[in-house]
Amino acid sequence: MAAHAPGAGSGSGCSGAGRDTPSAPGAAMADGPVADVLLRRLEAADGGLDSAELAAELGVEHQAVVGAVKSLQALGEIIEAELRSTKRWELTAEGEEIAREGSHEARVFRSVPPEGLAQSELMRLPSGKVGFSKAMSNKWIRVDKSAADGPRVFRVVDSMEDDVQRRLQLVRGGQAEKLAEKERSELRKRKLLTEVTLKTYWVSKGSAFSTSVSKQEAELSPEMISSGSWRDRPFKPYNFSARGVLPDSGHLHPLLKVRTQFRQIFLEMGFTEMPTDNFIESSFWNFDALFQPQQHPARDQHDTFFLQDPAEALQLPMDYVHRVKRTHSQGGYGSQGYKYTWKLDEARKNLLRTHTTAASARALYRLARKKPFTPIKYFSIDRVFRNETLDATHLAEFHQIEGVVADHGLTLGHLMGVLREFFTKLGITQLRFKPAYNPYTEPSMEVFSYHQGLKKWVEVGNSGLFRPEMLLPMGLPENVSVIAWGLSLERPTMIKYGINNIRELVGHKVNLQMVYDSPLCRLDAEPGPPQTQEAA
């Protein structure tokens, strides 16, 4: 068998392609006694034989026969082996002990002499407690409570049948079917019996059956060719459907797989990706440029991570800043503004961006400076940070997906249209729009989709038309309107991969196996966790 020891001989133990040559323990058995006996028994048997029965007859462990079956299987079509699961009754450890020593109630009965036995003494016997009540209910014994020196136990019958022991011995002898269902379930209730499912093999002759199994060659070695010995050596049939050993490779995190799907959808829709390579943003671009007032609750410590160092943004386009200042404090462009004292220092405060809409503001400002205006479709997918209360679906950071379309005369209808096209590519067709509020869009809508798997309407995003107080100070033409929408990457990924707690998806608690086994994600495929490779 040496030829097949891993690494020995030309073929390494398990080379994925070609013949899988398992160095399963059974192999050594191939020329071992069990395999031979099995083949001889098979020769004699008409039809097949059951591996468990053969093991019982040979008095060997069932596993030994299974090993022989596996090794013979590995040698080709010598035998057919069909896996069967048979249920059978087995004695528990206590059942074994009772089958040997008799039931507790029988032992109690036997320990009561004709003159009776003090109940207190009987209870000290090993089977006392368990056996007493059963012997009583079997009306084998009685208790004389009025006895002089305390309750005394006496026999009621002269002899009794220890059916429990007898029945357990029957089962031990493999004749469980002789017991009535009621008797079996009573023994199971007393935890003396359990039903075990035994995986056994029904072995029958294979197309190349023979009692003398000569080892089939798995490799065509150079000396076989040079010696020509290959001509008379049996070769193992080539297993073309052998599954190769998956090469060790890196594994994309499910979030990145879903991100790729979203990027694909945006690119298919003709969108261009916005640069988002700056987690640190100034309050100006994150809030002020979006016409979000400086006293807005989102702009305080409780929702936003502000930076100590560098605490302030130095580079701001001051001409544009002044227009933003005036719009916030006095209004303009038909807006009355917020009528408060806008402070440049507040706008300079650096923070971890709370949304990629900050990147959209930068992109739209760059667009406004390009004359003449050209319509654009932008998207971004990147990390944003919010100082939120952590729970099963919220971490202090998530990936925001955002789409932005700027063109002449875009309306809410255009927004609904592009949202339908976008979500349809996600396999989400049933959409409902609910009026909502964002400081930087008017009108705004929350987007809901009916989720078959979850059997409920799920909020799948937010959207709106950027306010003129945001766009006009940038220098965009009057009749240009900008529709935009946003959602998270984590939510669809959790739903797609059936993950309920975001900590299973992101962070130190992630079990890497989940990442390794997470198959390719097809967002538009059936909702819910995709099939595994194997199942695929």
Task: Find the part of the chain contacting ligand FB9 (CB under 6 A) among 7-15, 222-230, 489-497, 512-520.
Answer: 489-497
Q: Which residues contact 318 (CB under 8 A, 6 or more apart)?
A: none
Dihedral (Cα; 315, 356, 266, 416), 10-degree rounding: -120
Question: What is the closest distance, in whole angstroms, from the C-beta atom of residue 194 to ligand FB9 in the complex?
Answer: 44
Of 67 and 464, which has the nearer Cβ to ligand FB9?
464
Number of Cβ within a 10 Å radius of residue 246: 9
Question: Among 135, 347, 470, 484, which residue sits at the site for ligand FB9 (rule: CB under 6 A)?
Answer: 484
Q: Which is it for strands 350-352 and 280-282: parallel, antiparallel or unpaired?
A: antiparallel
Question: Among 11, 76, 337, 486, which residue sits at the site for ligand FB9 (rule: CB under 6 A)?
Answer: 486
Task: Find the part of the chain contacting ligand FB9 (CB under 6 A) among 4-12, 22-30, 368-376, 487-495.
Answer: 487-495
Instruction: Name the residue with tokens 């590519």.
Output: 425
Of 161 and 303, which has the nearer Cβ to ligand FB9?
303
- For residue 319, the one-letter residue type is D
Taking alpha carbons only, the member of 431, 534, 453, 435 closest to residue 497 is: 453
Question: What is the closest distance, in whole angstroms, from the C-beta atom of residue 441 to ligand FB9 in the complex?
Answer: 5
DSSP codes, 395-461: -SEEEEEEEEEEEET--HHHHHHHHHHHHHTTT---EEEEEEEETTEEEEEEEEEEETTTTEEEEEE
Question: What is the closest distance, in whole angstroms, from the C-beta atom of residue 380 to ligand FB9 in the complex?
Answer: 10
Of 105 and 402, which has the nearer Cβ to ligand FB9?
402
Contact 405, 484 (CB under 8 A): yes
What mask of x and - would describe binding to ligand FB9 in positions 297 to 336, judged by CB under 6 A?
----------------------------------------
Q: Which residues contact 384 (CB under 8 A, 6 or more apart)?
A: 352, 353, 354, 355, 356, 397, 398, 399, 400
What mask of x and - would describe binding to ligand FB9 in positions 393 to 412, judged by CB under 6 A?
-------x-x----------
- For residue 386, the one-letter residue type is R
Number of Cβ within a 10 Å radius of residue 247: 6
Peptide bond into 126 cis (omega under 30): no
Helix (H) or strand (E) holding 107: helix 104-110
Region class of 517: left (phi > 0), else alpha (psi between -120 and 50), else beta? alpha
Question: What is the closest distance, in whole angstroms, from the C-beta atom of residue 471 to ligand FB9 in the complex?
Answer: 13
Question: What is the closest distance, in whole angstroms, from the C-beta atom of residue 431 to ligand FB9 in the complex?
Answer: 11
Question: What is the closest distance, in whole angstroms, from the C-beta atom of residue 338 to ligand FB9 in the complex?
Answer: 19
Helix (H) or strand (E) holding 260: helix 254-268
Of 351 and 487, which has the nearer Cβ to ligand FB9?
487
Question: What is the closest distance, in whole angstroms, from the C-beta atom of residue 462 to ligand FB9 in the complex?
Answer: 4
* Position with the least CB separation from ligand FB9: 486
Question: What is the closest distance, in whole angstroms, from the C-beta atom of residue 177 to ligand FB9 in the complex?
Answer: 53
Question: What is the closest distance, in whole angstroms, from the C-beta atom of residue 446 to ligand FB9 in the complex?
Answer: 8
Orientation of helix 62-74 relative to helix 51-58, angle to 10°: 120
Kindly identify the residues of this chain, within the stretch 232-271, that bind ligand FB9 according to CB under 6 A. Answer: none
290, two tokens: 């979006």
For the stretch 210-239, what's the b/e string if a residue is b when 16 or more beta carbons lie within 10 angstroms of its beta carbon? Answer: eeebeebbbbeeeebeeeeeeeeeeebeee
Question: What is the closest distance, in whole angstroms, from the C-beta atom of residue 188 to ligand FB9 in the complex?
Answer: 46
Bridge partners, 306 (sequence order): 351
Task: Find the part of the chain contacting ligand FB9 (CB under 6 A) among 81-89, 143-151, 340-348, 480-488.
Answer: 480-488
Question: What is the closest distance, in whole angstroms, from the C-beta atom of residue 379 to ligand FB9 in the complex?
Answer: 11
In terms of DSSP H, where are the helices of 142-192? Answer: 163-172, 181-189
Kindly identify the residues of this chain, within the stretch 406-465, that bind ligand FB9 according to CB under 6 A. Answer: 428, 438, 441, 458-464
Question: What is the closest distance, in whole angstroms, from the C-beta atom of residue 361 to ligand FB9 in the complex?
Answer: 10
Of 160 and 367, which has the nearer Cβ to ligand FB9?
367
Of 338 and 378, which has the nearer Cβ to ligand FB9?
378
Question: For the chain, first and last CA: distance in Å?
Answer: 36
Of 21 and 438, which has the nearer Cβ to ligand FB9?
438
Of 95 and 439, which has the nearer Cβ to ligand FB9?
439
Of 77 and 504, which has the nearer Cβ to ligand FB9?
504
What mask of x and - would describe binding to ligand FB9 in positions 351 to 390, judged by CB under 6 A?
------x---------------------------------
Does 485 engage in binding with ligand FB9 (CB under 6 A)? yes
323, two tokens: 């227009």
Helix (H) or strand (E) holding 94: helix 93-101
Question: What is the closest distance, in whole angstroms, from the C-beta atom of residue 436 to ligand FB9 in the complex?
Answer: 8
362 phi, psi to nearest 5 deg: -60, -45
Task: Find the part of the chain contacting ligand FB9 (CB under 6 A) among 2-10, 36-44, 270-278, 478-486.
Answer: 478-486
Kindly identify the residues of this chain, within the stretch 490-529, that bind ligand FB9 according to CB under 6 A. Answer: 491-492, 495-496
Check residue 245 and report its DSSP letter.
P
Give how many residues touch ligand FB9 by CB under 6 A: 22
Of 283 and 438, which has the nearer Cβ to ligand FB9?
438
Helix (H) or strand (E) holding 254: helix 254-268
Of 38 and 428, which has the nearer Cβ to ligand FB9?
428
For ligand FB9, the binding residues (CB under 6 A) are: 357, 400, 402, 428, 438, 441, 458-464, 484-488, 491-492, 495-496
